[in-house]
């Protein structure tokens, strides 16, 4: 006589499936969050660099030193431009998505007319 009641097997199969799904989610979610945070950090860094690069080319040496604050996406960055010998130096300082202070420098040698 064969036993046809397999309800215990189905329950065990569901518990194993739930355990594997929970394990997979608990591994993948922190990795995805870390990747998104790094993406935000790199995007902010690139945006600040592009702003400095574009802004430093339009400055005159007579206007220096200049300090200003600008909102770029969700980041507030402080920019300062000053003269170092014949170089115009642009400096950007901001707090990134990891709550760390970052700074970047851009150097520009203006064309002499």
pLDDT of 8 reads 64
pTM of the complete model: 0.76
As a 3-state breakdown, the chain gives helix, strand, coil percent values, each rounded to 5, of 45, 30, 25
Alpha carbon of 11 to those of 14, 18, 23, 25: distances in Å?
5, 11, 18, 21
Tokens 């970047």 correspond to 104
- List the domain boundaries for the chain: 7-108
DSSP 39-82: HHHHHHHHHHHHHHHHHHTT--GGG-SEEEEEEETTEEEEEEEE
Q: Are 105 and 90 a contacting pair, CB within 8 Å? A: yes
Q: What tens digit of pLDDT does each residue of 6-41 get?
A: 666 778 889 999 999 999 999 999 999 999 999 999
How many Cα atoms occupy the beta-carbon half-sphere of 8 within 13 Å? 3
pLDDT of 55 reads 92
pLDDT band at 59 (very low <50, low <70, confident <90, very high): confident
């Amino acid at each position: 006589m064969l036993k046809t009641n397999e309800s215990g097997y189905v329950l065990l199969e569901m518990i194993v499936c739930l355990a594997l799904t929970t394990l997979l989610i608990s591994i993948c979610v922190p990795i995805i969050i870390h990747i998104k945070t790094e993406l935000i950090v790199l995007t902010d860094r690139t945006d600040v660099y592009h702003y400095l690069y574009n802004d430093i080319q339009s400055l005159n040496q007579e206007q220096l030193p200049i300090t200003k604050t600008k909102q770029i996406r969700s980041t507030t960055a402080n920019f300062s431009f000053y003269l170092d010998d014949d170089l115009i130096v642009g400096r950007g300082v901001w707090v990134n998505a990891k709550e760390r202070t970052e700074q970047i420098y851009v150097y520009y040698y203006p064309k002499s007319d």
